[in-house]
Amino acid sequence: MIFQHIAHRDTPMRKNHFPLLVIGLSIVSGTAHGAVPSAAAQIEQAASKAAQAEIRTMARGQGWGKYGVQPETVLPPEATALPQCPKTPVATPTPGSKRMLYRLRYDIICPGEQGWALTVAVKTAVNLPVVVAMHTLERGRVIDSQDVVLKVQDIAPLNGLFLTNPQDAAGQTVKRRINASQIVTPALLEQPVMVERGQNVLITARLEGIEASTSGEAIKQGRKGEVIRVRNTSSQRIVDAVVVSPGVVRIIAPAR
């Protein structure tokens, strides 16, 4: 329709508009085919993909389930002066760098003799349903299912220290005060005391497929999984044993 419209005008009008038409078509043509990405754009794309792939691997390994990630590449000033890479740049984790979710470092390399290398950081926000406190939980409280709930939070600053299942918190004791809506981390919890000092306990042992048990006395208190010393009531020998449940311990070392 553009050519038909111009063809009906007189010659001077065609001479005045034809150069503009050519320029316009050139612009449209260049836009349609897409501009070649700059080195900065290539770096940002390579780093972002690498960060998302690393987080995806972490999510699968830790069983996160559904999550969202927002990467932001921090480009150093020299990135804007680099020439466009003729090949796809390769991004690898920077050797020796700590893999902290909120700031991941990558070496971006443009292959080839005329290539270049650059180190960049990628800041991320990783949104994931994690365990948070429904209300304030005071020190010493044993958590139950009504105390915690799942809520989407940015877990990048936590460096893996969070819970994704409320059952992992239930039954544990609050080690330090937890405020309402605060993310519940393993550092804030501890197993409840299952054996008190001086308490009568059941000492169990297993040797060559044979199980035996006897009564004893705990020399110190202990939580599940902790090793404590107990005295065999019958022999008066002191042994090391691991706490397995309330009032029950299992020998892990020969009697003295």
Average pLDDT over residues 210-222: 91
**Looking at residue 22, what is its pLDDT?**
37
Instruction: Return d(Cα 207, Cα 192) in angstroms, integer.
Output: 29
Structural domains of the chain, ranges and CATH numbers in brackets:
38-188 (3.90.1210.10), 193-251 (2.30.30.760)
Query: How would you write 2-60 as a 3-class SS string?
Result: HHHHHHCCCHHHHHHHHHHHHHHHHHHHHHHHCCCCCHHHHHHHHHHHHHHHHHHHHHH
Higher pLDDT, 59 or 10: 59
Instruction: Return d(Cα 66, Cα 63) in angstroms, integer.
Output: 9
Parallel, antiparallel, or unpaired: how do β-strands 222-223 and 193-195 relate?
antiparallel
Q: Is the pLDDT of residue 146 over 60?
A: yes
- Containing 245, the helix (H) or strand (E) segment is strand 238-245
pLDDT digits (tens, 9 = 90+) for 72-119: 999 999 999 999 999 999 999 999 999 999 999 999 999 988 899 999
Residue 231: both structure tokens together: 């005295």
Q: Report the Cα 210 to chain-centroid distance in Å.
A: 44
Query: What pTM value is reported for the model?
Result: 0.65
**Looking at residue 143, what is its pLDDT?**
94
Average pLDDT over residues 179-184: 96
Higher pLDDT, 253 or 13: 253
Q: CB-based contacts of 163: which residues, under 8 Å, 6+ apart?
A: 130, 131, 169, 184, 185, 186
pLDDT digits (tens, 9 = 90+) for 149-180: 999 999 999 888 899 999 999 989 999 999 99
Q: Is the pLDDT of residue 17 over 70?
A: no
**Looking at residue 14, what is its pLDDT?**
43
Residue 107: both structure tokens together: 């070496």
DSSP state of 175: S
pLDDT confidence tier of residue 139, bands split at 50, 70 and 90: very high
Q: CB-based contacts of 65: which residues, under 8 Å, 6+ apart?
A: 59, 128, 129, 164
**Looking at residue 36, what is its pLDDT?**
62
Q: CB-based contacts of 27: which residues, under 8 Å, 6+ apart?
A: none
Average pLDDT over residues 134-159: 94
Instruction: Return d(Cα 178, Cα 175) in angstroms, integer.
Output: 9
Average pLDDT over residues 189-209: 89
**Looking at residue 208, what is its pLDDT?**
73
Q: What is the mean pLDDT of the chain?
A: 85
Instruction: Return d(Cα 224, Cα 114) in angstroms, integer.
Output: 61
Among 123, 43, 124, which residue's Cα sits nearest to residue 90? 43
Average pLDDT over residues 234-253: 89
Q: Show the CA angle centred on residue 93, arms to residues 87 and 96, nearest 5°.
A: 140
